[in-house]
Amino acid sequence: QVHLVEFGGGSVQAGGSLRLSCAVSGYTFIRYCMGWFRQAPGKEREGVAAIDSNGRTSYADSVKGRFTISKDNAKNTLYLQMNSLKPEDTAMYYCAADSRWWLLLRGDEYNYWGQGTQVTVSS
């Protein structure tokens, strides 16, 4: 059973930084895709960043140049470094995983999800 747990959310002022972590267990796929998604109140879920098993990354236009996705295979952990945070980045952030390595930001098709961690950016 694949299990994802996010850490690192919190409250920060605009311009600040946070690093989200997602600990993954039970994942034995050789090829995979993992991503970060977010959902703000009253808005649809959107893809933020994704990375596949070859290290290929994809970012939403709204976070390019500010957010960086990475993974530590030895620690089975996915990260999202968020810099220059803006109030519009406020949302619940979820990590997700799937064996279909091509999914990237196609969040509706991911099979495995964490419970989410809240990020709040104040102006």
Sheet holding 77-82, edge to edge: 3-7, 18-25, 77-82, 67-72
Q: What is the pLDDT along the chain (123 residues), one digit of tens a residue?
A: 899 999 999 999 999 999 999 999 998 788 899 999 999 999 999 999 999 999 999 999 999 999 999 999 899 999 999 999 999 999 999 999 999 988 989 888 999 999 999 999 999
Q: State residue 29's pLDDT score.
A: 80
Residue 109 phi/psi, 5-degree rounding, is: -100, -5
Tally Cβ neighbours within 10 Å of residue 108.
Answer: 8
Q: What's residue 28's pLDDT?
A: 78
Question: What integer pLDDT is reported at residue 3 of this predicted model?
Answer: 95
Q: Which residues of 53-88 are buried (b: 16+ CB within 10 A; e: fewer)?
A: eeeeebbbeebeeebbbebeeeeebbbbebeebeee
37 backbone φψ class: left, alpha, beta (φ>0; ψ -120 to 50): beta
Instruction: Tell me if residue 77 falls in helix, strand or coil.
Output: strand
Rg (CA), the chain: 13
Q: What is the pLDDT of residue 108?
A: 86
Report whether 24 contacts 96 (CB < 8 A): no
